[in-house]
Amino acid sequence: MAAARESLLEAAGAALAARAWPAVRMVEVAAAAGVSRQTLYNEFGGKAGLGRALVRREADWYLRGVDRALEASAGSAERLTGIAEWTVRAARARPLVRALLTGSWNGNLPAPPGRAVRPGVPALGPGELVRAVRDRAAAALPTEPAQRCELVVRLALSYVIAPGAPGEEPAAAGLLGLVSAPNRRAGAR
């Protein structure tokens, strides 16, 4: 069933890329995945369940990219810059990732995550994702304060929410320099 589940999520993602979520039909998703509609309902319970699974899958995809940035053979500053750049690229490329990171949902996407669906499974939202990135970065970069890791993600999100001119890339390295530079005022105290 894992293969059917993955095929259904792939088909649902492709359908969502082509049209708004309310226009995505379960029968079309099942046909595109090569399974019966009953298999789709057995796996997800309905369209809402499929939407929740699709949202979760996008969050996991984003976090895998964060992990790849953290695994780079570079210094802490370069890895934090990689997280910032990945965050901006992922949010620009994938509407569900952008919605998860910003909390800005519209009727073209599956319903936003609400409270936890099952005990022990947290609801997804901007705060949860930022904290997950912060915790992963802090674990991978023990010399970096957790607050600095979180600040890098929040600065990257500012480029997602208020992008620059078309084609303009964020100066993540410059922002990171501001975050990592010693504070003259704090040092003078």
pLDDT of residue 187: 43
pLDDT of residue 149: 86
- Tell me the three state secondary structure of residue 122: coil
What pLDDT tens digit does each residue of the chain (189 aa) get?
A: 688 899 999 999 999 999 999 999 999 999 999 999 999 999 999 999 999 999 999 999 999 999 999 998 788 888 999 999 999 999 989 999 999 999 888 889 998 776 445 555 556 788 888 889 999 999 999 988 888 888 888 888 888 888 777 766 655 545 555 445 444 444 443
Q: Where do we find the tokens 């998703």? A: 29
**Looking at beta carbons, which pairs linking 33-36 to residues 24 or more positions away fall under 8 Å?**
33/4, 33/7, 33/8, 34/7, 35/4, 35/7, 35/8
pLDDT of residue 186: 42
**What residues contact 139, with CB distance under 8 A and at least 6 apart?**
none
Altogether, the residues listed in the chain come to a count of 189
pLDDT of residue 71: 92
Taking the CA atoms of residue 117, residue 118, residue 121 and residue 126 in that order, the dihedral angle to the nearest 10 degrees is 10
pLDDT of residue 106: 86
* CB 6 within 8 Å of CB 17: no
Q: CA 37, 43, 49 angle in degrees (round to 5)?
A: 95
- Give CA 115 to chain center in angstroms: 18
* C-alpha to C-alpha distance for 102 and 163, rounded to whole angstroms: 13
pLDDT of residue 170: 59
DSSP output for 26-50: HHHHHHHHTS-HHHHHHHHSSHHHH
* CB 151 within 8 Å of CB 91: no
pLDDT of residue 107: 86
